[in-house]
Amino acid sequence: MKISNKSVWSASIEMPKFPQLKKDITTDVLIIGGGMAGILTAYFLQKSGVDYILVEQDRICSGVTKNTTAKITLQHGLNYHKILKDGGYEIAKGYYEANKMALDTFYSICGSLDCDFETRDNYVYSTNDPDKLEAEMAALEKIGCFSRFCKDIPVPVKTVGAVCVPEQAQFNPLKFIAAISKDLNIFENTKVWEMIGNTAVTQKGKIFAKRVVVTTHFPFINKHGSYFLKLYQHRSYVMALKGPSDVYGMYVDESKTGFSFRNYGDLLLLGGGSHRTGKKGGGFSELENFYILHYPQAQVEYRWATQDCMSLDDMAYIGNYSKNLKNTFVATGFNKWGMTGSMVAARLLSDMLKGTENQFSHIFSPSRSILKPQLLVNGFETTVNMLNPTTKRCGHLGCALKWNPQEHSWDCACHGSRFDKDGKLLDGPATRDLKK
Q: 138-163 pLDDT, tens per residue?
A: 999 999 999 999 999 999 999 999 99
How far apart (Å, rounded) are the C-alpha atoms in residues 257 and 23?
46
Residue 426 in 3-state DSSP?
A: strand
Whether 340 and 386 map to the same domain: the answer is no
How far apart (Å, rounded) are the C-alpha atoms in residues 413 and 235?
11
pLDDT value of position 436 = 67
Lowest mean pLDDT across 78-82, 132-136, 353-357, 369-373? 369-373
Number of domains in the chain: 2
Q: Which of 304, 325, 354 is the last residue before a domain boundary?
A: 354
Residue ranges making up the domain that contains 208? 25-68+175-229+314-354
Residue 322 lies in a domain: yes
Provide DSSP, 330-359: EEE--TT-HHHHHHHHHHHHHHHHHT---T
Residue 77 lies in a domain: no
| Residue 382 predicted with pLDDT over 80 | no
Lowest mean pLDDT across 255-259, 268-272, 331-335, 396-400? 396-400
Residue 24 in 3-state DSSP?
A: coil
Lowest mean pLDDT across 95-99, 298-302, 417-421? 417-421
How far apart (Å, rounded) are the C-alpha atoms in residues 34 and 62?
8
Residue 320 lies in a domain: yes
Closest CA to 288 of 420, 406, 402: 406
Q: Residue 371 burial (CB < 10 Å; 0-12/13-18/19+)?
A: exposed
Provide DSSP, 378-422: HHHHHHHHHH---S-B-TTT-PBEEEETTTTEEEETTT--EEETT
Q: Measured in whole angstroms, how far is the alpha carbon of residue 386 from the centre of its chain?
A: 26
Residue 275 lies in a domain: no
Residue 62 in 3-state DSSP?
A: coil
Tell me the average pLDDT across 273-291. 93
Reported as a pLDDT band with limits 50, 70 and 90, residue 238 is very high
Residue 55 lies in a domain: yes
How far apart (Å, rounded) are the C-alpha atoms in residues 9 and 224?
35
Whether 423 and 381 map to the same domain: the answer is yes
Amino acid sitting at position 255: S
Note the pLDDT tens digit of each residue in 311-342: 999 999 999 999 989 999 999 999 999 999 99
- Which CATH number fits the domain that encloses residue 63? 3.50.50.60
Give the max Cα distance, the chain: 61
- Are 423 and 434 contacting, i.e. CB atoms less than 8 angstroms apart? yes
Q: Percent helix, strand, coil in the chain (nearest 5)?
A: 25, 30, 45
Residue 434 lies in a domain: no
Tell me the average pLDDT across 14-26. 97
Describe the crossing of helices 338-354 and 89-110 by its angle, rounded to 10 degrees.
90
Tell me the average pLDDT across 52-72. 97
Whether 379 and 340 map to the same domain: the answer is no
Contacts of 359 (CB under 8 A, 6+ apart): 94
How far apart (Å, rounded) are the C-alpha atoms in residues 387 and 51?
46
- Are 339 and 173 contacting, i.e. CB atoms less than 8 angstroms apart? yes
- Which CATH number fits the domain that encloses residue 409? 2.102.10.10
Contacts of 294 (CB under 8 A, 6+ apart): 156
pLDDT value of position 263 = 98
| Residue 208 predicted with pLDDT over 90 | yes
Q: Which of 354, 385, 411 is the last residue before a domain boundary?
A: 354
Q: Which residue has the higher pLDDT, 366 or 1?
A: 366
Rg (CA), the chain: 21
Whether 385 and 420 map to the same domain: the answer is yes
Residue 117 lies in a domain: no
Reported as a pLDDT band with limits 50, 70 and 90, residue 309 is very high
Reported as a pLDDT band with limits 50, 70 and 90, residue 1 is low
How far apart (Å, rounded) are the C-alpha atoms in residues 114 and 379?
45
Residue 357, Cβ neighbours under 10 Å: how many?
7
Nearest-5° angle of CA 375, CA 376, CA 380?
A: 120
Reported as a pLDDT band with limits 50, 70 and 90, residue 428 is confident
Separation in Å, CA 145 to CA 75, 79, 139, 211: 10, 13, 9, 37
How far apart (Å, rounded) are the C-alpha atoms in residues 262 and 118?
11
Contacts of 143 (CB under 8 A, 6+ apart): 80, 84, 89, 92, 93, 96
Note the pLDDT tens digit of each residue in 385-408: 777 776 788 888 888 888 888 888
Residue 143: how many CA atoms within 13 Å on its side-chain side?
Answer: 30
pLDDT value of position 202 = 97
Alpha helix positions (H), 76-226: 80-87, 89-110, 130-143, 173-181
Amino acid sitting at position 15: M
How far apart (Å, rounded) are the C-alpha atoms in residues 264 and 287?
18
Residue 187 lies in a domain: yes
